[in-house]
Structure formats: structure tokens, C-alpha cells
Amino acid sequence: MELMEASKLKKAKIAIYSLSIVIPVVVALLFGVKIQGVDLTFLPPIYATINGVTALVLIVALIAIKKKNKALHRGLIRFALLLSLLFLACYVAYHMTSDSTPYGGNYKTIYFVILISHILLSIAVVPIVLFTYLFAWQGNFERHKKWTRFAWPIWFYVAVSGVVVYWLISPFY
């Protein structure tokens, strides 16, 4: 196993740390921006579907690696990363053009527990998944496996809980 050279590894780590800070800060700032006259109210079921597909892709990626199909696993994880970026773009676009929807159901406590855990873990999952990916990319599969033991369940929870949050809030759009 040949590890990534030190200077490239350092740059990759700086990029991960930077993205881990920049993404949540930019998302928070963009929530303060309201673009009038653009109707993107069709997006919530789309980005909920993207979350659902991400969860399914993560399951298939797990099965692929358990069957020692590294190429399929690698491709599926890259696809899951792409889906996560697409979700984020749709989510931010929707919230920049639409007012927040208040939850009006009987399961308010359950809704907010799931929503808050989803939001907090969606912030935490960025560096966790990126470092897990970096370890595989650099060929450090032992470290990749160790990180995957908690990266995968967190990423999967974020994807699934995103769908659940949508199901709970959708009657109130």
C-alpha cells in the first residue's frame, strides 16, 4: 500500500477542514437570502427523493464492498457523494426562494428531535465522510475501514432522516 505523498495529503486535509467550515457557514448565510419571484416549491419532494436514493446507494455500496467488489463500491460512493451535493444545491435553492414551513402536526417533539439530529449530523458528516474517502483514496484501507464503521451509519442516518423529515412536514407545505 503506497500512501499519498505528505504535501498532497496536507493539502487534502486543509481542503476537508475548509469545506467542513465553509459549507455550513455558507448554507446558514444563504438562509438569510430571499430571492423573490422564483418558484422552486417543486423541489422538496425532489430533494427528499435524492436523500432516499442516496440511502439506497449507500446500502448497495456496503453490499458491494462486503462482496469484495471494490470498483463497484468506489463508483457507488462517488455517486452517493454527487447525490449529496445535488441534494444540498436543491435544498439551499428552495430555502433561498421560499419561506420556512412551520410544522403543524401532532408529532412535534418527534419531528424536532429528528430534524435537529438530522441537521447536526449533516454538519458533522461532511468531514467524517471526506476523511473516510481520503483514507481510501490514499490507499490507507485499514484507517478507511475504521472510519467507515461510524461514517457509514451517520451518512445513512442523515439520508434516511431527511426523507422522514420531508414526510412529516409535507402535509404543511
What average pLDDT does the chain have? 95
The answer to the question of residue 108 being in a domain is yes
pLDDT of residue 5: 82
- Structural domain total, the chain: 1
Residue 2 confidence (pLDDT): 55
The whole-number pLDDT of residue 1 equals 46
Q: 173 with 42: CB under 8 angstroms?
A: no
Domain that holds residue 113: 6-28+41-172
pLDDT tens across 20-39, in order?
999 999 999 998 899 999 99
DSSP symbols for 55-75 = HHHHHHHHHHHHTT-HHHHHH
pLDDT per residue as tens digits for the range 34-92: 999 999 999 999 999 999 999 999 999 999 999 999 999 999 999 999 999 999 999 99
CATH of the domain at 151: 1.20.120
